[in-house]
C-alpha cells in the first residue's frame, strides 16, 4: 500500500505522524519525505542531525541512464532509527529551489514505488507536507492508495477543512481520501463532532501528546512508557482503519473497472 499524508492548514503533525507510522509499523516501510519546503525536518528531528543530508530524493533528477528508478530510490534510502521492521527514509531536498527539477520525475517515482509495494511487500508512507497554492506533486498522488488529510479538531481548522476538502476531491480521483484528526490542547471538538463537518470520511483521531510526538519530531527520549504506549495504540488504530478503507476503496474501483 502507498499512503500520502498532508494538511490544509496549521501544523497538525504530518511529518511527526509519518515518522511514527513508519517507525512502529511491523511491515517494512519506506518513508519518502516529499515536502518541498526545503531542508529535511526528519533528519534534523528524528535523526537529531547525526546523519548528514547526503541522501535525497533530488537524485531522481540526476540519475544515470544505466540505473533504474527503483535502484536510485534504494540507493538514497537510510535506515530508520528504532524501527520495528526493516524500514528506511528517503530525505527531501535541501533547498526549495530544487523542487522545480523534480516535477517531471514524480510519475516515474510513483510507478517505482508502486512496483516496490506490489512486488516487494513494502508499505510506502509519503510526507507530502502542506497543500500549497501550487497544489501537491500530482504524479505521486496519482499512485496513492490513500490520501490522508490531517487536521486539528479546533473550529478554525474545521472551517478550513470544510472549505478545502471539496477542492481536493475535484483533483484527486484515484486514492481514497480521508481525514485523520488530531486533538488540540485548547478548543478541541470530539472526533464524532468534527467528522460531521468534514466532507471526507474520518480515519480516526490522534491524542494531543507533545512528549510522545517529540520522540518522532525531535528524537526526544521518553521517560514515561505509558504515554508513548497510548500514542502508539492510536497510531496503530489509525493505520488499521486507513488500510481497511483504502483496500475497500481499491476493490470498489476494480469492481467498477470490470463492469465497463
Comparing C-alpha atoms, which of 43, 120, 32 is closest to residue 76?
A: 32
Cα distances (angstroms) measured from residue 155 to each of 113, 186, 187, 194: 36, 11, 8, 9
In the structure, what pLDDT confidence band is assigned to residue 253 with cuts at 50, 70 and 90? confident
What is the percent of the chain where pLDDT is above 70? 97
Condensed to tens digits (0 to 9), the pLDDT of residues 203-213 reads 999 999 899 99
Q: Cell digits for 28?
A: 517494512
The average pLDDT across 28-56 equals 95
Cα distances (angstroms) measured from residue 161 to each of 88, 94, 126: 31, 30, 20
How many C-beta neighbours within 10 Å does residue 24 have? 21
Q: Cell digits for 208?
A: 494531543
Whole-angstrom distance between the N-terminal and C-terminal Cα of the chain?
25
> How many Å separate Cα 8 from the centre of its chain?
13
Enter the pTM of the model: 0.94
The 3-state secondary structure of the chain reads CEEEEEECCCCCCHHHHHHHHHHHCCCCEEEEECCCCCCCHHHHCCCCCCCCCCCCHHHHHCCCCCCCHHHHHHHCCEECCCCCCCCEEECCCCCHHHHHHHCCCHHHHHHHHHHHHHHHCCEEEEEEEECECCECCHHHHCCCCEEEEEEECCHHHHHHHHHHHHHHHHHCCCCEEEEEEECCCCCCCCHHHHHHHCCCCEEEEECCCHHHHHHHHCCCCCCCHHHHHHHHHHHHHHHHHHHHHHHHHHHHHHHHHHCC
**Which CATH number covers residue 167?**
3.40.50.300
Task: Give me the number of domains the chain comprises.
Answer: 1
Q: Cell digits for 147?
A: 490520501
pLDDT on residue 221: 83
Residues β-bridged to residue 32: 90, 126
In the structure, what pLDDT confidence band is assigned to residue 260 with cuts at 50, 70 and 90? very low
Sign of CA dihedral 206, 207, 210, 212: negative
Domain of 85 in residue numbering reads as 2-258
Of 12-21, 43-52, 95-104, 249-258, give the lowest mean pLDDT range. 249-258
Q: Are 35 and 86 in contact (CB under 8 A)?
A: no
In the structure, what pLDDT confidence band is assigned to residue 223 with cuts at 50, 70 and 90? low
The average pLDDT across 56-72 equals 93
Sign of CA dihedral 65, 121, 237, 26: negative
Position 191 pLDDT exceeds 50: yes
Mean pLDDT of the chain: 92
Amino acid at each position: 500500500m502507498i499512503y500520502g499524508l498532508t494538511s490544509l492548514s496549521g501544523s497538525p503533525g504530518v511529518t511527526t505522524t509519518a515518522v511514527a507510522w513508519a517507525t512502529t509499523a511491523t511491515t517494512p516501510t519506506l518513508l519518502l519525505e516529499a515536502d518541498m519546503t526545503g531542508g529535511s525536518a526528519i533528519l534534523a528531528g528524528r535523526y537529531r542531525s547525526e546523519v548528514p543530508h547526503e541522501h535525497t530524493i533530488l537524485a531522481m533528477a540526476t540519475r544515470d541512464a544505466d540505473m533504474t528508478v527503483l535502484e536510485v530510490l534504494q540507493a538514497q534510502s537510510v535506515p530508520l532509527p528504532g524501527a520495528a521492521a526493516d524500514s528506511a527514509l528517503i530525505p527531501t531536498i535541501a533547498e526549495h529551489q530544487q523542487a522545480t527539477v523534480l516535477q517531471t520525475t514524480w510519475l516515474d517515482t510513483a510507478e517505482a514505488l508502486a512496483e516496490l509495494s506490489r512486488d516487494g511487500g513494502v508499505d510506502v508512507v509519503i510526507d507530502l507536507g502542506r497543500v500549497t497554492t501550487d497544489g501537491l506533486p500530482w504524479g505521486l498522488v496519482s499512485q496513492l492508495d490513500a490520501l490522508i488529510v490531517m487536521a486539528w479538531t479546533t473550529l478554525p481548522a474545521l472551517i478550513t477543512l470544510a472549505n478545502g476538502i471539496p477542492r481536493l476531491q475535484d483533483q484527486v480521483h484515484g486514492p481514497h481520501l480521508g481525514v485523520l484528526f488530531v486533538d488540540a490542547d485548547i478548543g478541541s471538538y470530539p472526533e464524532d463532532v468534527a467528522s460531521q463537518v468534514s466532507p471526507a470520511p474520518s480515519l480516526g483521531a490522534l491524542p494531543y501528546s507533545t512528549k510522545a510526538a517529540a520522540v518522532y519530531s525531535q528524537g526526544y527520549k521518553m521517560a514515561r512508557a505509558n504515554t508513548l504506549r497510548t500514542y502508539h495504540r492510536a497510531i496503530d488504530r489509525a493505520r488499521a482503519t486507513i488500510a481497511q478503507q483504502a483496500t475497500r476503496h481499491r476493490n470498489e474501483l476494480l469492481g467498477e473497472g470490470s463492469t465497463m
